[in-house]
Homo-oligomer: A and B are copies of this chain.
Amino acid sequence: MGGERSPERVLIVLHRPIPEPVQADIRHKFSDAEVTFYKSQQGVPVPPDHLSQHPILRESDIHITTSSGIHGPPIAEWTVMNWLVSSRKYVQTYEAQKAHDWQDKTGNIGEMHDQVGKKVGILGYGSIGRQIGRVSQALGMTVHAYTASPRPTPESRHDNGYIVPGTGDPDGSIPASWHHGTDRESIREFLAIGLDHLVISLPLTPQTTHLLSAEEIAILSDNCHHHASKPYVTNISRGKVIDQKALIDALRSGTLGGAALDVTDPEPLPKDDPLWDAPNVQISPHLSSHGKEYFPRSLDILKVNLGRLAKGEALINDYKRDKGY
């Protein structure tokens, strides 16, 4: 940074206290800047879409950048963990250990199966979908990507956002096939390509609400020809993207082999909701992105961008006011 410039001012706003070691780390990362921490008011309910109505967003041209890209590794790990817990019958092993019971193993040979050769369809091939694709490919699976807009050229398949080093699919070379569309017919064509796994990683919009209903589940199931199991659905998006009643029916009837759900409709899921006990479902309370790495990675984006600002370069993860993301 040039000598004439006033120091950068960094304002960190969070809805809960920031632990002292994290504060120290932040001051160290931005040692040339004035760093201020501000805890927003606790106990005051935050209205929906409060950020999208904020004057800074609506009435200024101050750069806003997102944390997009930091969630790939934890959510991909959460996803693959759930697949393996299901296919390798981990819960049986866990319960046997609790009982100090060295189970006779012969019964398990035919029940367990692995992921090699399976087809995973990823609805929404963004930073999260790409890391899921990367690990899937390493497991021996083939990856099929679905995006809203067409990606016909190598350039259009690049990931131009923040990428956690050593992860993801920066140049979009992993998928065996690319599909696209925003209408229901395009989605149905995608569900018919013979998927063993469907991963839902789409934003919730009026178009994606109940995107996966009974008819779509039937298309997915009827076209899965794997010998070992019926299709497995993973939802890391929002609960309302799936018609939850139809999902429960499909799990009960065996139309689907299982589901991993980090999101439900509603949240929290009420104690008496039938989803809790549906067969072969694994539910977690919207925590798949969590972990010790959450804040350090968010700050890495800020750090990268302060460097780019100082050099007059374009920012990464710049919020586009016209698109709303």
Q: Among A113, A137, A267, find the residue whose CB has the most chain B CB atoms closer than 10 A.
A: A113
Are A139 and B73 within 8 A (Cβ)?
yes
Cross-interface CB contact of A291 among B78, B90, B106, B113, cutoff 8 Å: B113
Within 8 A of B (CB), among A60-98: 73-74, 76-78, 80-81, 84-85, 87-88, 90-91, 93-94, 96-97
Q: Is A269 an interface residue (CB 8 A)?
A: yes
A209 to B22, CA, bound (A): 44
A81-B84 in contact (CB<8A): yes
> Which residues in B have their C-beta under 8 angstroms from that of A273?
100
Q: Which has the most chain B C-beta neighbours within 10 Å: A80, A96, A116, A293?
A: A116
Residues of B within 8 A of A268 (CB): 102
Q: Is the CB of A292 within 8 A of B134?
A: no
Residues of A contacting B: mostly: loop
A290 at the interface (CB under 8 A from B): yes
Asked if A290 and B138 sit within 8 Å, CB to CB, the answer is: no
Identical copies in the complex: 2
Given the complex, which residues of B lie within 8 Å of A293, measured CB to CB?
113-114, 116
Give the shortest distance, in Å, between A234 (CB) and chain B (any CB): 14
**Cβ B73 vs Cβ A114 within 8 A:** yes
Q: How far is the CB of A109 from chain B (nearest CB, A)?
A: 5
A203 CA / B286 CA spacing, docked (Å): 42
The verdict on A160 contacting chain B, using a C-beta distance below 8 Å, is no
Minimal beta-carbon separation of A118 from chain B (angstroms):
10
Cβ of A7 under 8 Å from chain B: no
Report chain B residues within 8 Å CB of A91: 94
Nearest-neighbour CB distance to chain B for A159, whole angstroms, equals 15
Say whether A110 faces chain B, with CB atoms less than 8 Å apart.
Answer: yes
B139 pairs with A292, CB closer than 8 A? no
Residues of B with C-beta under 8 A to A271: 100-101
Q: Which residue of B lies closest to A168 (CB)?
A: B140
* Complex alpha-carbon distance, A285 and B106, angstroms: 10
Q: Report the Cα distance A117→B284, complex, angstroms.
A: 25
In the docked arrangement, what's the CA distance between A115 and B94, Å? 22
CB distance from A116 to the nearest CB of B (A): 5
- CA A60 to CA B110, docked complex, whole Å: 35
A292 in complex: contacting residue of B138, B166, B228, CB < 8 Å: B228
A322 located at the interface, meaning its Cβ lies under 8 Å from any Cβ of chain B in the complex: no
Asked if A272 lies at the interface with its beta carbon under 8 angstroms from chain B, I say yes
Judged by a CB distance under 8 angstroms, whether A177 is at the interface is: no
In the complex, besides A78-B88, A108-B290, A140-B167, 18 extra interface pairs with C-beta distance below 8 angstroms are A73-B140, A74-B114, A77-B84, A77-B87, A78-B84, A80-B84, A81-B88, A93-B282, A100-B276, A100-B277, A102-B268, A102-B285, A108-B287, A116-B166, A116-B167, A117-B165, A135-B135, A135-B138
Can you sample 8 A-B contacts with CB below 8 Å? A76-B139, A77-B84, A77-B115, A81-B90, A94-B94, A97-B283, A109-B292, A137-B138
